[in-house]
Amino acid sequence: MSPEGAPGLKEFRDQSRKLCYGTAQEALHLFITYNKTLCLHSGNANVNTDVFASFKIPYNLNNKTEKDGLEKSACWTLRLWVVTIVCIALLSVCFIVSCVVIYHFTSAKSDKRLSELHTYHSGLTCFSEGTRVTEKVWGCCPSTWKSFGSSCYFISTEKNFWYKSEQKCVEMGAHLVVINTEAEQNFIVQQLNKTFSYFLGLSDPQGNNNWQWIDHTPFEKNVRFWHEKEPNFSAEQCASIVFWTPGAWGWNDVFCDTNRNSICEMKKIYL
């Protein structure tokens, strides 16, 4: 009977009646294929020489196989290193290229905004705001505007309807104010006159209490500063900020077609 998967091998028994198969070549094939020695006999006069050879050749060849394996492994390691180095080099190039593109894009954008703003504003006031690599960064606002964080604010004393107020802000390269944080609200109210109310960039166009910021900033639950019991009327679809005594500054929903002051906001220009 031949071992499974190795047809054509001869079967014989050595003196110790150990079962052996085939010739040296066949044994070698089986050793390599099935990773086992066919016959573990340590040598005997009656043992077929071919078969006897099969006890030794596999070990020699096994060493060769191990050597080949080590060489292959080293080769794969080298390839992996080459691939890794090439990938890192490519990523570095991409990073540098994107930095250059972003820098040029930002510069071009700043230049465009500067030329646009020049149409409406006679001068800019700039403040040093840290450094970019080795250059200083300047955050600039139109000279008559207030600066806070990354924005500039204009408190309009001209009274208009809400839509007209927004239009006026847009003409100056801005929009009605969007209050993103409590700190921003606190800064803004310091600039206001307690005897007036001011339109915000917040409206409820459908009158279903679905309030929306004019720049599509999500209307976060934790950044709402309504006065108590406001908003109180679905027909009042625009938001204003007003000081009510006793108390403090807060928001009130009002009719959009009432004349009020307003607050414009624009992003600073960075040079």
What residue ranges bind Ca ion (CB under 5 A)? 178, 180, 230, 232, 236, 252-253
Minimal distance, residue 210 CB to Ca ion, in Å: 16
In the complex with Ca ion, the residue whose CB is nearer, 204 or 230, is: 230
Q: Least distance (Å) from Ca ion to the CB of residue 181?
A: 8
The angle subtended at Cα 175 by Cα 173 and Cα 180, nearest 5°, is: 125
**CB of residue 265 to Ca ion, shortest distance in Å:** 5
CB of residue 175 vs Ca ion: minimum separation in angstroms?
Answer: 9
Residue burial 162-184, b: 16+ Cβ < 10 Å; e: rest: bebbbebbeebbbbbbbbbeeeb
**Rounded-to-integer distance, Cα 271 and Cα 267, Å:** 13
- Based on CB atoms, which residue is closest to Ca ion, 20 or 176? 176
Running DSSP on this structure, what letter comes out for residue 146?
E
Task: Dig out the tokens for 137 from the structure.
Answer: 């960064």
The residue (of 26 and 236) whose beta carbon lies closer to Ca ion is 236
The nearer residue to Ca ion, 31 or 249, going by C-beta atoms, is: 249
Query: Do 262 and 160 meet the contact criterion of CB atoms below 8 Å apart?
Result: yes
With tokens 């009130």, the residue in question is 252
Long-range contacts of 8-12 (CB under 8 A, 24+ apart): 12/48, 12/51
Smallest separation (angstroms) from Ca ion to the CB of 199: 13
CB of 217 to Ca ion, least distance (A): 8
CB closer to Ca ion out of 54 and 240: 240
Nearer to Ca ion, 58 or 250 (CB): 250
Angle at 147 between CA 142 and CA 152, to 5 degrees: 60
Question: DSSP per residue over 48-115, as a string?
Answer: -HHHHHHHHHHHHHHHHHHHHHHHHHHHHHHHHHHHHHHHHHHHHHHHHHHHHHHHHHHHHHHHHHHH
